[in-house]
């Protein structure tokens, strides 16, 4: 699009936004808690039956979202292999590979180190990639000790560029006719691993990590998709080449068609950092007042806009009562006098750097051939 035309559209766009802000007066500053006499209207479109109730547990039921922090007993969990039960008395973790001084840490050693907390929304990158998988997300206060000083203490050697995190869980990994029993493993570049936000985490919302979420110790990598947050840690290893495990280089790979001057280029990238996203959580009714409530995450969120049916995008009100850099933002919008019948509700998040959550027909989403990184705009159907 020529620059001038684009600018004109943007100007018109913001004028339109101002006009409809009056139409949808966003009076509700706090989305939670539920107000007296408020009723939740269930979405007409519901996820299909979970085909893997062992691997995928406790998905978020969006209509039930009523707190910024997701309680542990309602927090989703994913396991690709088995779900190990670990005895903390015999458990310890090694930090080895290309380091001057390999370390072995018990849970007590890790707990004795400086404590750091982060409120971080974990989303599985496959969330919204399948009709049965729309609740692979939760927000928790994680506590542990920073990883970087431990790597520093071990002393990464000059040629170390990659840090591999091995879980205790194992599963069968096939390549052609070769089958191997391997540990769950994911890696990060040394620079990414040294991020001061990364935690060797042993606590979730004030209690020991639940078994499903990685007891006794997991990696918490704020700003990354769920897959990077390796649970049931067993060993951390520094290596001198990129690590091409199942979950780095074959599964959890995003394959896209990109257009480069009329020619198709196929890109294949390993899922890593989270992407900007939002979703409507629920529509509530109190007497004749309707409210749309939702969440936005994956990038520093500037604003969220909501579209009903094919109408204009209306600015939602962000609830600033509970916020953190790596946590979802809860938003709401008063929906004045919806006409009786079925409606479609779509949200889109805009980041502080002007990134907009892509529409489902944006080439970023439409030309993506794999499930992961499904951060396209979410549309829900509701009858009022």
Which residues of the chain form contacts with ligand MTE (CB under 6 A)? 75-81, 122, 124, 167, 169, 184, 213-214, 226-227, 229-232
Among ligand MTE, Mo ion, none, partner that 184 touches (CB below 5 to 8 angstroms by kind): ligand MTE
State the Cα–Cα distance between residues 188 and 194, nearest whole angstrom: 9
Quickly list DSSP for 297-314: ESS-EEEEEEEETT--EE
Q: Which 8-state DSSP code applies to residue 212? A: G
* Partner from Mo ion, ligand MTE, none binding residue 213, C-beta < 5-8 Å depending on class: ligand MTE
Closer CB to ligand MTE, residue 205 or residue 284? 205
In the bound state with ligand MTE, the residue whose beta carbon lies nearer, of 169 and 203, is 169
What is the smallest separation between the CB atom of 50 and ligand MTE, expressed in angstroms?
A: 14
Which phi and psi (to 5°) does residue 128 adopt?
70, 10
Task: Specify the DSSP class assigned to residue 359.
Answer: P
- Give the separation between CA 12 and CA 4, rounded to whole angstroms: 12
CB of 227 to ligand MTE, least distance (A): 4
Q: In terms of Cα–Cα distance, which of 245, 274, 318 is closest to 32?
A: 318
Residue selected from 226, 280, 294, 358 as contacting Mo ion according to rule CB under 5 A: 226
Which DSSP string corresponds to 247-288? IIIISSEEEEEEEETTEEEEEEEE--B---EEEEEEEEEETT
Q: Select 75 or 313, whichever has its Cβ closest to ligand MTE.
A: 75
Quick one: tokens of 290? 């309707």
| 151, 194 Cβ separation under 8 angstroms | yes
Minimum Å distance from CB 248 to Mo ion?
13
CB of 63 to ligand MTE, least distance (A): 20
Could you say which of ligand MTE, Mo ion, none residue 80 binds, taking C-beta under 5 to 8 angstroms by partner kind? ligand MTE
Q: CB under 5 to 8 A by kind: which of Mo ion, ligand MTE, none does 144 bind?
A: none
76 binds, among ligand MTE, Mo ion, none (CB under 5 to 8 A by kind): ligand MTE
Question: At closest approach, how far in Å is the CB of 81 from ligand MTE?
Answer: 6
323 and 31 Cβ atoms separated by less than 8 Å: no
77 binds, among Mo ion, ligand MTE, none (CB under 5 to 8 A by kind): ligand MTE
The tokens for 82 are: 């088995």
Among 56, 86, 124, 151, the residue binding Mo ion under the rule CB under 5 A is 124
> How many whole angstroms separate alpha carbon 239 and alpha carbon 165?
11
Least distance to ligand MTE, CB of residue 292, Å = 26
227 binding Mo ion? (CB under 5 A): yes
Closest CA to 267 of 254, 278, 279, 277: 254
Interface residues toward Mo ion, by CB under 5 A: 78, 124, 226-227
């Amino acid at each position: 699009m020529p620059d001038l035309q684009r600018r004109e559209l943007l100007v018109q766009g913001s004028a339109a936004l101002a006009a409809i802000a009056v139409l949808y007066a966003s009076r509700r500053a706090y989305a939670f808690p539920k107000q007296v006499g408020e009723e939740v209207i269930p979405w007409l479109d519901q996820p299909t039956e979970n085909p893997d109730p062992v691997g995928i547990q406790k998905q978020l039921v969006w209509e039930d979202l009523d707190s910024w922090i997701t309680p542990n007993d309602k927090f989703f969990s994913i396991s690709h292999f088995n779900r190990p039960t670990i005895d903390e008395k015999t458990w310890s973790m090694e930090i080895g590979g290309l380091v001057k001084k390999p370390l072995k840490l018990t849970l007590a050693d890790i707990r004795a180190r400086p404590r750091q907390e982060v409120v971080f929304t974990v989303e599985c990158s496959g969330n919204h990639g399948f009709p049965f998988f729309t609740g692979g997300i939760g927000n928790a206060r994680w506590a542990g000790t920073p990883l970087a000083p431990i790597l520093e203490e071990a002393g990464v050697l000059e040629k170390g560029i990659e840090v591999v995190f091995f879980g205790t869980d194992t599963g069968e990994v096939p390549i052609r006719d070769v089958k191997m029993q391997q540990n769950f493993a994911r890696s990060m570049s040394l620079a990414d691993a040294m991020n001061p936000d990364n935690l060797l985490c042993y606590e979730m919302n004030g209690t020991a990590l639940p078994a499903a979420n990685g007891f006794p110790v997991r990696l918490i990598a704020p700003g990354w998709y769920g897959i990077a947050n390796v649970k049931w840690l067993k060993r951390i290893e520094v290596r001198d080449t990129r690590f091409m495990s199942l979950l780095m280089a074959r599964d959890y790979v995003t394959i896209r068609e990109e257009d480069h001057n009329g020619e198709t280029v196929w890109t294949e990238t390993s899922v890593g950092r989270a992407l900007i996203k939002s979703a409507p959580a629920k529509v509530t009714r109190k007497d004749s007042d309707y409210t749309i409530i939702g969440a936005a995450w994956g990038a520093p969120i500037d604003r969220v806009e909501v579209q009903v049916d094919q109408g204009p995008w209306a600015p939602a009100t962000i609830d600033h009562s509970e916020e953190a850099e790596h946590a979802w933002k809860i938003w709401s919008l008063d929906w004045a006098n919806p006409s009786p019948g079925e409606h479609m509700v779509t949200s889109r998040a805009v980041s502080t750097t002007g990134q907009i959550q892509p529409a489902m027909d944006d080439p970023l989403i439409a030309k993506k051939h794999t499930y992961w990184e499904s951060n396209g705009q979410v549309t829900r159907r509701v009858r009022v």
